[in-house]
Chain A
């Protein structure tokens, strides 16, 4: 049996694993099995530890057990006119909220509202000893103790099992409009950066296949004024949902390619256009498809102060951008303290770990 329903069962599995030294592979719905350096260990399916614990729309906070499906949380928020503004990717499935935070990925709205980690208010962690620790809370501002709950966002199980999260939610924008303009990738980057320094309610700025796509979200007068300023052709609601959903969930046909690099750079960085390029986050995220770019992506990104990860295809090790020496040493020491026998997601976030 790999499924665990209660906290107690999770703790027992951890205690057993820490005793025997046999690693655990933490998993929610498995939508991100492709993500990270490697998968190792006995499966620990966390989907049964589920359920929304607390949600009060006027507090702008939702708290849920790690196994709660994203679809359940989004439906509950939608019923109150709210949403997870960082637009976590679901890929082609229905991830758990624990998996969403453990991966820490964010969708196209990041350029306006911030990333997954910006919405994490609190988290509970089952550490290698089996004890459940609580960090952060359910309030907007909290500087008591180190910000461990944000540290857990994107940690891919490095420090332990995220068993509960509290997230800030936002009201859905009252008005939204998408525009499309025929532009070269260079021109698109130039206008994205120019518009970014103006008080315009831009919640999406992407470029693919010769077209720039701009999404405006906010109060109706602000959206109307911005539409006039930006120009281009209006896209209907269905077409807009289709396009931004395709970017958010990586289901756009661009992502069909067998090799994909994800390159994170300053939004105004000049990189070679590449043959198959998709730009998101107003220029701060560049996706390259096909083997032509290959490992050169890493050199190019480093050259402009960015990072590149091999999202899919090619046998590049490590897949994530390598850490600097000092940063890697801090990772090793944290692992030594939190998980000395390396039972949690061995080798998934960072290849360099303390010897088990």
Chain B
């Protein structure tokens, strides 16, 4: 038994706007819209139901809410004015990039102002010598690499949505991609940010120099889901584009064997540029659309990418081939051209759209587990498919243990969404039980807020609220997201028991 604990040093009240049912009076709501209109040009404030409709959700369409208004500032000064207005009127602010997020992080509160940063979309500076790009938050991920390409440089994190998603959104979610095993996540590739607090104070964290004094508030801000600051400028690291990349595709007749092959590559001292896995359900779903040439008889397909100088790639490819064969690969193909490399990847990158074609709806999960438990997890998912009566196809960032099970369902059939939701929650609880986490790269948002009750103790969640309060004492930035209140967790606990299906009663934290 631990010793008797002190009462918590500082009582942190639950922020009032965490309550999704809290409302403003119609007069107060009208006053907010009018105040915004006096600050911004007419086209920069949206408030009619029709105009607000596109902002009711992000990439997670199962959760929707029309906001009070949408502000579309063009300058940093306008961003600051919007924040000060919301602060003055005590209404929540939901920062939003391209709205491609998958966890409902940008879903509005009914009394909130959605602060769209889409019009802050300029690349301010590319410094090829220092290898940095200074960009506004609304710049799209892929645009940065395109602008850096003439210098032989690129921005490494490449989430599948990189054509549309913005750097500001990437910072909010700490986005990953298929190459982050070798090149890191957003947190490893952002050198500095410029941002505003809800009180309109500007703040610079990190920068062109690598060391900053004091606490690493830059690392804390990355992945903070719009709860701490509103970012208005990002300094990213650019890296030299490798001379060549080739991908090895291997088939396995058993998913457990494929998982062991991943461990064998790492154990051989190789960190591939990408290391991905798809199960048969996924490859069968994508093949008709992308015609990547996937081996549909394989229980699992592994994709391992080698990059570097031509000699280096040749050597790594032959080493990877050797390890994969020794681990029981039934077939191996190596890309012989850039076109073929992209074709091999196309299925993996298009797994989500493919799921949308084979099923009316799908629900994408994002847990991470220690790689050694991959086989265990897949077997458990198979058992859950049976129990919930729903199919699930699986794609993984296998190199870093990040799973994306895609649960297929039809929202028009009564009870299917509820079953999919419970199916997903059970997968996440198993992730925690296996020593992993409920979200690897998509964020908690509103979607996984209940699962946070499983992963963190009440004291840990209180610590999160303390951090939020240190940045946002009024609780106005994206309230109700990412961290569940004690009340919410208590209700979630009760609901579980009422359904009589507490999935893992032996979870130490529950």
Interface size band for A: 35 or more
Q: Which of A12, A130, A264 contacts B210 (CB 8 A)?
A: A264
Q: A129-B6, A221-B311, A327-B203 are in contact. Are A334 and B215 (CB under 8 A)?
A: yes
Find chain A residues with CB under 8 A from B368 CB.
Answer: 137, 139-142
Interface contact A134-B210, CB-CB below 8 Å:
no
Q: Scoring B residues 141 to 165 as 1 if CB is less than 8 Å from chain A, else 0, what string do you get? A: 0000000000111000000000000
CB of B170, distance to nearest CB on chain A (Å) = 12
Q: How far is the CA of A269 from the CA of B129 in the complex (A)?
A: 10
Q: How far is the CA of A88 from the CA of B440 in the complex (A)?
A: 27
Q: How far is the CA of A57 from the CA of B268 in the complex (A)?
A: 10
Q: Which of A61, A133, A222, A338 contacts B311 (CB 8 A)?
A: A222
Q: Which of A194, A322, A324 contacts B203 (CB 8 A)?
A: A324
Q: How far is the CA of A145 from the CA of B439 in the complex (A)?
A: 9
Interface contact A197-B223, CB-CB below 8 Å:
no
Interface contact B209-A284, CB-CB below 8 Å:
yes
A–B pairs, 22, beta carbons within 8 Å: A15-B4, A118-B184, A127-B463, A138-B370, A139-B435, A139-B437, A140-B181, A140-B402, A141-B180, A145-B444, A146-B223, A147-B223, A196-B240, A199-B240, A200-B240, A264-B209, A285-B210, A306-B209, A307-B213, A330-B203, A330-B471, A337-B10
Would you call A207 an interface residue if the criterion is a C-beta within 8 Å of the partner chain's C-beta atoms?
Answer: no
Q: A145-B464, A199-B309 are in contact. Are A305 and B372 (CB under 8 A)?
A: no
Find chain A residues with CB under 8 A from B267 CB.
Answer: 57-58
Q: A58-B371, A129-B6 are in contact. Are A199 and B243 (CB under 8 A)?
A: yes
Interface contact B316-A219, CB-CB below 8 Å:
yes
CB of B352, distance to nearest CB on chain A (Å) = 18
| Top 5 A-B residue pairs of the complex, sorted by shortest distance between their CB atoms | A221-B311, A266-B208, A140-B400, A337-B466, A171-B269
Would you call A252 an interface residue if the criterion is a C-beta within 8 Å of the partner chain's C-beta atoms?
Answer: no
Q: Which of B132, B211, B214 contacts A331 (CB 8 A)?
A: B214
Q: How far is the CA of A338 from the CA of B105 in the complex (A)?
A: 27
CB of B208, distance to nearest CB on chain A (Å) = 4
Would you call B413 an interface residue if the criterion is a C-beta within 8 Å of the partner chain's C-beta atoms?
Answer: no
Q: Which of A6-32 contact B (CB under 8 A)?
A: 7-8, 11-12, 15, 18-19
For the A-B complex with A140-B180, A197-B153 known, give 20 more contacts whose Cβ atoms are closer than 8 Å.
A58-B372, A59-B266, A104-B216, A115-B210, A137-B435, A139-B436, A140-B440, A144-B452, A147-B224, A148-B220, A151-B219, A171-B266, A197-B128, A197-B152, A264-B210, A266-B209, A281-B210, A327-B205, A331-B215, A340-B10
CB of B462, distance to nearest CB on chain A (Å) = 9
Would you call A193 an interface residue if the criterion is a C-beta within 8 Å of the partner chain's C-beta atoms?
Answer: yes
Interface contact B12-A337, CB-CB below 8 Å:
yes
Q: How far is the CA of A7 from the CA of B2 in the complex (A)?
A: 9
Interface contact B470-A337, CB-CB below 8 Å:
yes
Would you call B263 an interface residue if the criterion is a C-beta within 8 Å of the partner chain's C-beta atoms?
Answer: yes
Nearest CB to that of A118 among chain B residues? B188
Find chain B residues with CB under 8 A from A196 CB.
Answer: 131, 240
Find chain B residues with CB under 8 A from A154 CB.
Answer: 215-216
Nearest CB to that of B151 among chain A residues? A197
Interface contact B482-A145, CB-CB below 8 Å:
yes
Would you call B3 an interface residue if the criterion is a C-beta within 8 Å of the partner chain's C-beta atoms?
Answer: yes
Q: A8-B2, A145-B464, A147-B222 are in contact. Are A110 and B397 (CB under 8 A)?
A: no
Would you call B96 an interface residue if the criterion is a C-beta within 8 Å of the partner chain's C-beta atoms?
Answer: no
Nearest CB to that of A119 among chain B residues? B188
Find chain B residues with CB under 8 A from A109 CB.
Answer: none
Q: A145-B460, A219-B315, A221-B315 are in contact. Are A128 and B9 (CB under 8 A)?
A: yes
CB of A196, distance to nearest CB on chain B (Å) = 6
Query: Which B residues have a C-beta under 8 Å from some C-beta of A?
Result: 2-10, 12, 127-132, 151-153, 173-174, 176, 180-181, 184-185, 187-188, 197, 201-205, 207-217, 219-220, 222-224, 227-228, 240-243, 263-264, 266-267, 269-271, 308-309, 311-312, 314-316, 368-372, 397, 399-402, 435-444, 448, 452, 455-457, 459-461, 463-464, 466-471, 473, 482-483
Interface contact A150-B216, CB-CB below 8 Å:
yes
Q: How far is the CA of A134 from the CA of B473 in the complex (A)?
A: 24
Q: Scoring A residues 145 to 179 as 1 if CB is less than 8 Å from chain B, else 0, what string do you get? A: 11110110111001100000000001110100000
Would you call A309 an interface residue if the criterion is a C-beta within 8 Å of the partner chain's C-beta atoms?
Answer: yes
Would you call A114 an interface residue if the criterion is a C-beta within 8 Å of the partner chain's C-beta atoms?
Answer: yes
Q: How far is the CA of A349 from the CA of B460 in the complex (A)?
A: 23
A-B contact count (CB 8 A): 306
CB of A276, distance to nearest CB on chain B (Å) = 20
Q: A151-B215, A350-B214 are in contact. Are A221 and B309 (CB under 8 A)?
A: yes
CB of B96, distance to nearest CB on chain A (Å) = 18
Interface contact B269-A139, CB-CB below 8 Å:
no
Q: Which of B209, B223, B435 contacts A265 (CB 8 A)?
A: B209
Q: How far is the CA of A141 from the CA of B396 in the complex (A)?
A: 12
Q: How far is the CA of A294 from the CA of B456 in the complex (A)?
A: 47
Interface contact B213-A322, CB-CB below 8 Å:
yes
Q: How far is the CA of A328 from the CA of B316 in the complex (A)?
A: 48
Would you call A339 an interface residue if the criterion is a C-beta within 8 Å of the partner chain's C-beta atoms?
Answer: yes
Find chain B residues with CB under 8 A from A301 CB.
Answer: 209
Nearest CB to that of B460 among chain A residues? A133
Q: How far is the CA of A140 from the CA of B263 in the complex (A)?
A: 14
Q: How far is the CA of A341 from the CA of B425 in the complex (A)?
A: 40
Interface contact A138-B220, CB-CB below 8 Å:
no
Nearest CB to that of B186 among chain A residues? A143
CB of A212, distance to nearest CB on chain B (Å) = 17
Q: Which of B3, B153, B370, B483 contacts A11 (CB 8 A)?
A: B3
Q: A56-B372, A174-B269 are in contact. Are A349 and B215 (CB under 8 A)?
A: yes
Interface contact B216-A326, CB-CB below 8 Å:
no
Q: Which of A59, A145, A171, A325 contacts B370 (CB 8 A)?
A: A59
Q: How far is the CA of A133 from the CA of B509 in the complex (A)?
A: 12
CB of A265, distance to nearest CB on chain B (Å) = 5
Would you call A38 an interface residue if the criterion is a C-beta within 8 Å of the partner chain's C-beta atoms?
Answer: no
Nearest CB to that of A224 among chain B residues? B311
Interface contact A198-B470, CB-CB below 8 Å:
no
Q: How far is the CA of A133 from the CA of B464 in the complex (A)?
A: 11
Q: How far is the CA of A224 from the CA of B310 in the complex (A)?
A: 12
Q: How far is the CA of A12 from the CA of B204 in the complex (A)?
A: 39
| Residue from A150, A269, A339 whose CB has the most chain B CB atoms within 10 Å | A150
Q: How far is the CA of A16 from the CA of B406 in the complex (A)?
A: 50
Q: A139-B437, A150-B187, A333-B473 are in contact. Are A130 and B215 (CB under 8 A)?
A: no
Q: A141-B402, A155-B215 are in contact. Are A114 and B467 (CB under 8 A)?
A: no
Interface contact B207-A147, CB-CB below 8 Å:
no
CB of A84, distance to nearest CB on chain B (Å) = 15
Q: A146-B220, A349-B215 are in contact. Are A197 and B129 (CB under 8 A)?
A: yes
CB of A215, distance to nearest CB on chain B (Å) = 17
Q: How far is the CA of A267 from the CA of B131 in the complex (A)?
A: 9
Find chain A residues with CB under 8 A from B468 CB.
Answer: 146
Find chain A residues with CB under 8 A from B8 CB.
Answer: 129
Interface contact A139-B219, CB-CB below 8 Å:
no
Interface contact B173-A143, CB-CB below 8 Å:
yes
